[in-house]
Each structure stands twice: as structure tokens, then as C-alpha cells.
Structure 1
Amino acid sequence: MTHFLPSRTLRALLTCAVLSVATYAHAQNVFRVTTIPEEAATEQVRKFTPLASYLEKALGVKVEFTPVSDYPAAVETLVNKKVDLVWFGGFTFVQANLRSGGKVVPLAQREEDTKFQSVFISKTDSGIKSLADMKGKQVSFGSQSSTSGHLMPRSFLLQANINPEKDFRRIAYSGAHDATIASVVSGKVDAAALDITVWRKFVNENKVDTKAVDVFYTTPGYFNYNWSVHADMPADMQAKVKAALLALDPANPEHAEILKLNRATRYIATTPENYKGLEAAARSAGLL
């Protein structure tokens, strides 16, 4: 026997369906991109706006880049699907993946992110020449959720039998790598840890005098940053985003500028397994 829905109910269901499709279509009219705020918002906009313009052409939708206020905000925006694509550090990827129940998909990382490093810096006349020399000193990390500015430096300190809470006179958290450098230059702290690529950028742009402040320790390598999306993004869209990132070619002048701004040689594919070591380090350091 065939059952028919009352016309009023059918009209209501059809209206809901149309509204649902319209809402989804409208949402997809804008592809939203953000990043962890590893540097000042103005610098983030400068670095990632050209990439957003490139993605707009590649994806055929309007792309907007908007900075967020802090690292946890970057995690929450993707977990709650308020943005479509996020540039995460390795640790924020781990946090987002755990918060979402495994529903964050890393698409691509820079070639440099397969063997990333952190540096410890101090004033050259501070007498600090090794990790052990930091005992009794005032030390700054970046954001508490930063991979290269906190998690991995802390992990290597613990491996060297240095407990920051017990062995340092004071611990500060600057919130961003550029602010970390400034805290050492100004003398607010004696030593600090940060992302090696930000340090190199400051040195290359003559924004820091290495005769006054320089690196005294560089960590071993580890996996770091990636571009991630939510698993609920349609598979074909995930594939298009990934393909666009991997297609950035340093031989193409326009692409080369985007890669330079992102401090990347090129983008390569990545997988969740690459970040298991960071998750283990975070658990060992008591950060998860």
C-alpha cells in the first residue's frame, strides 16, 4: 500500500530541504581561512592574503583570510566549523584533533615541517651558553599552545633534566614568536625559545642585532605545521584544496612569492601519523 504525506507536511518538508540546501550553498560562497597567531595580526594578513587570493582562483569560490586572537581560538574555530582551513602548529593540530574526536584532517605541510627546529636565544653578554646555564634565569616561551615556542623546547629541556617550573626563576609566555624576541632584546627575560624560521626571518630582515642577541642552542628536528580541514568538508573539496596547495610551484613567480611569504620551499602531503610523536611529547610534558 502506498502512503501519501498530507500536502501541508510535504510542503513543510520541501521548504526545509530548500532552506537547508540554500544555507549550505550560501556558506560555501565564502571559504574561510585562518591561522594560529604566531606573529602579529598585521603580519599574518601580509603573509596569508596572497595565498587566499590564489586559493580563490583555484577553488572558484570567494576566500577570506581572518586572523584570530590566540592559539585556542584557532583550534575552536575549526572544531566548531566556523572556518574551513586552518594553518596549525603541530601541537594545535593535536589539540584540535583530540577536541573534535579525530575529525581534523591534515592536508599539507611545508617541506621544512618534516624536520622543524626551535632555537633558544639570549643576549650574547648574558653568560648563557647552554641549556644548563638557564637555571636560575628568567625565561620566556611563546604561546602555551605553541609547538616550536613551548611544547618542543619544554620537551627537550625535560630530556636534559631541566624542569622549567623548578629550575627557572620565572617563566613568561609572550603569546607570539616576534614578542618572544622582543622580550629578550628588551631585557625582560634572560633567555627564550622560538620557531627557527621566525628567528631566521628577523635576522635576514635585520630586525635583530645578532651581536647583541643570538642563538645558543638549536633543538633536534621534529614534525610541525600543517594546513588542516574538518572531516565534514566534502571529500571532493578536500581534494581540491590539497591539490591547490601541492600545486604551488617555486618556478612560477607568483607561486614563489606566496611560498616565500609562508617561509616554504614547497608544500607536500602529510598524514595524522606524522604528529603522533608530538602528542606523545605533550603527554610526557603534562600538557595534555
Structure 2
Amino acid sequence: MTSLIRITAALGALLLAAGVHAQQVLRVSAIPDEAPTELQRKFKPLGSYLEQKTGMKVEFVPVTDYAASVEGLVNNKLDMVWFGGFTFVQAKVRSGGKVIPLVQREEDEKFKSVFITTDKAIAKLEDLKGKTFAFGSESSTSGHLMPRSYLLAAKVNPDVDMKRVAFSGAHDATVAAVAGGKVDAGALNISVWEKLVSQNKVDSSKLRVFYTTPGYFDYNWTVRSDMNPELRKKITDAFLALNMNDAQGREILELQRATRFIPTKAENYASIEKAAQQAGLLK
């Protein structure tokens, strides 16, 4: 009996150790709004930094689509996700309010979308009637929801007034679709557009922005509300400590296309939720 007790105790200790070890991995993901290789490249130095600050192994877990990022967090398969404003709202609704946005880039307080075209006859949103058009992902804030809401405000219903509407799946794919003549125009987030322009991946003699939206709240890093408060604080503090004055901070911020990270809260995304409801996109 004594031997059995010892074996049981040893097995219990091993299982406990395995459980503790499993908890030491922070599973992080991001909505796939760019090519997978680009997302991995952008995350690598941030992951190393978060390992230093939390003492945990940080693992980037790619997802196939926007919906998978929401389900992964809600179903405890992911611990932290880089959401757009709309996917955060979806996760909030899907979880019954049990997710918390921690930080956002300063740029995300007044984020914008751009409408692009190669067609010289298109100069304003109303000119898109009868044209072919590309959004990004259906769950994208800056690649679908907000562009759609501004189109509707301009009395252009994409599903009725346009010849054809396509979903490219990602911002860079939208640029490729418009540049390649697959569609007459498209919408994407301003950050990816500016990056592609700066990298000379856009022929600005042909492809141009003809409308830029007003600002709105967008991306953030979100966790579940059941995350250990101490870990949540470590992660938040790590993001807030990033600055351009040291080499590591500068590399991370530049890859994230951020000047700095600032705290955020769920209430900031109320207008996104309202826009999604009005557009009939919140299920």
C-alpha cells in the first residue's frame, strides 16, 4: 500500500509539473490581415521581448482566417490575439463579454481606411456604382466593416449598386487585385497601404487613393478575462514600456508600425459595434 501511495504521489507530482509547464507557454496569434510570412516576421522580435518580460515561452500560433482567431481565444486555444476592432467586438459578443483589450497603438485611436483605384473615372465613392470592388476579409474592420459603413453613408450599397463585390482575404491581396485589374477599386487599411508605398511595391503612376475615411478606433491586443491579473499586468507593462530610444524597442515598434502603445478599453469599440449592427454584419 505504501508503494502504491508513493507511486500515486509521484504521478500526481509529474502531472502537476506538466500542468505548470503547460501554463508557462503564452499562445499568441493575430488576425491574418497580411501574408503569413509577414505576420511571423513582424512578431518574432516582439515574441522574444515578451519572453524576457514575462518569463514564459511565447509561441506564435498562426490561424487560417479571422473567425479562427476569435474562436481560438474564446475556446482557450489562444491566450492573446491581435484583433481588429470588429474582431474584438465579435470576440466580446461570442464570449459574453469575457475578453479584455489591453493595449493599442497610438495610431489606432484614429485609424483610417483608404479606397484605391486605377480607373481615372473614379474620383469619389458615388462613382463606384456599377463598378467591381474588393474588400479584404469579411471580418476586417478596416478592410470591410468601416469602408462598407462609409459607402452606405454615401448612399452606395455594395450589394445592390456595384457590378460585383469580392473579398480578397487580406489588405495586400486587395492591392494586388486592384493593381492587376481584377477589380476596378478596393478598400484597405491605411497602414498597409503606406507600408507598400514606402517599399515601392505600388506603382503610384497607376494606382492611387481617391478617398480616405475619417478616423476610428481599430486594432488592439486582447486577452480573456480569466488570465492571471499578474500576467496581464506584466504583458501590459511590457507593451507600454516600448519606446524608440532603445534598439530593441525601436525594432519592435517599427515592425508593428507604431510610435508607441497606449492602454485601451472595451468602451472604445462601441462605435465599431454599432456600425457592425447597422451594416447587418454582427451575428
TM-score band by shorter chain is over 0.9
Q: CA deviation at 1:18?
A: 5.4
Q: Find the counterpart in structure 1 of residue 229 from structure 2.
A: 235
What secondary structure sits across from 1:139 in the alignment? Answer: strand
Q: Find the counterpart in structure 2 of residue 34 from structure 1.
A: 29
What secondary structure sits across from 1:287 in the alignment? Answer: coil
Output one character per residue of 1:161-210: Cα deviation in whole Å (capped at 9) or x when no partner.
11110100000000000000000010000000000000000000000111
Q: Is it true that 1:183 corresponds to 2:153 in the alignment?
A: no
Match of 1:220 among 199, 203, 214: 214
Match of 1:70 among 46, 58, 65: 65
What secondary structure sits across from 1:180 in the alignment? Answer: helix
Letter in 2 for 1:243: D
Q: Is it true that 1:253 corresponds to 2:247 in the alignment?
A: yes
Q: Find the counterpart in structure 2 of residue 154 from structure 1.
A: 148
Tell me if structure 2 keeps the 8 A contact 1:45–1:66: no
Structure 2 CA distance for aligned equivalents of residues 14 and 283 of structure 1? 54
Match of 1:101 among 93, 96, 112: 96
Q: Find the counterpart in structure 1 of residue 45 from structure 2.
A: 50
Q: CA deviation at 1:20?
A: 6.9
What secondary structure sits across from 2:205 in the alignment? Answer: coil
Structure 1, gaps ≥5 residues long: 1-6
Letter in 2 for 1:188: K
Letter in 2 for 1:108: V
Structure 2 CA distance for aligned equivalents of residues 162 and 16 of structure 1? 65
Q: CA deviation at 1:14?
A: 7.7
Structure 2 CA distance for aligned equivalents of residues 177 and 83 of structure 1? 24
Structure 2 CA distance for aligned equivalents of residues 159 and 82 of structure 1? 38
Tell me if structure 2 keeps the 8 A contact 1:143–1:173: yes
Q: Find the counterpart in structure 1 of residue 158 from structure 2.
A: 164
Structure 1 CA distance for aligned equivalents of residues 93 and 15 of structure 2? 29
Q: CA deviation at 1:127?
A: 1.0
Letter in 2 for 1:150: H
Q: CA deviation at 1:28?
A: 1.8
What secondary structure sits across from 1:126 in the alignment? Answer: coil
Output one character per residue of 1:225-272: Cα deviation in whole Å (capped at 9) or x when no partner.
000011111111111111111111111111111000001010000000
Structure 2 CA distance for aligned equivalents of residues 83 and 19 of structure 1? 24
What secondary structure sits across from 1:42 in the alignment? Answer: helix
Total equivalences in the alignment? 279
Q: CA deviation at 1:68?
A: 1.0
Q: CA deviation at 1:83?
A: 1.3
Q: Is it true that 1:79 corresponds to 2:87 in the alignment?
A: no
Q: CA deviation at 1:117?
A: 0.2
Taking structure 1 as the reference length, what is the TM-score of the superposition? Answer: 0.93
Structure 1 CA distance for aligned equivalents of residues 251 and 68 of structure 2? 28
Q: Is it true that 1:25 corresponds to 2:31 in the alignment?
A: no
Structure 2 CA distance for aligned equivalents of residues 126 and 101 of structure 1? 47
Q: After superposition, where does 1:117-156 map in structure 2 within 5 Å?
A: 117-123=112-118, 125-156=119-150
What secondary structure sits across from 1:76 in the alignment? Answer: helix
Q: CA deviation at 1:23?
A: 4.8
What secondary structure sits across from 2:139 in the alignment? Answer: coil
Q: Find the counterpart in structure 1 of residue 188 from structure 2.
A: 194
Aligned-pair Cα RMSD in Å? 1.9
Tell me if structure 2 keeps the 8 A contact 1:139–1:170: yes
Letter in 2 for 1:181: V
Q: Percent of counterpart pairs with the same letter?
A: 59
Tell me if structure 2 keeps the 8 A contact 1:142–1:173: yes
Letter in 2 for 1:100: S
Q: 1:109 to 1:27 in 2, by over 3 A?
A: same
Output one character per residue of 1:85-127: Cα deviation in whole Å (capped at 9) or x when no partner.
110000000001111111111000000000000000000x431
Q: Find the counterpart in structure 2 of residue 89 from structure 1.
A: 84
- The ranges of structure 1 where at least 4 consecutive aligned residues each deviate by more than 3 angstroms after the TM superposition are 13-24
Structure 1 CA distance for aligned equivalents of residues 142 and 59 of structure 2? 27
Letter in 2 for 1:83: L
Q: Find the counterpart in structure 2 of residue 3 from structure 1.
A: none
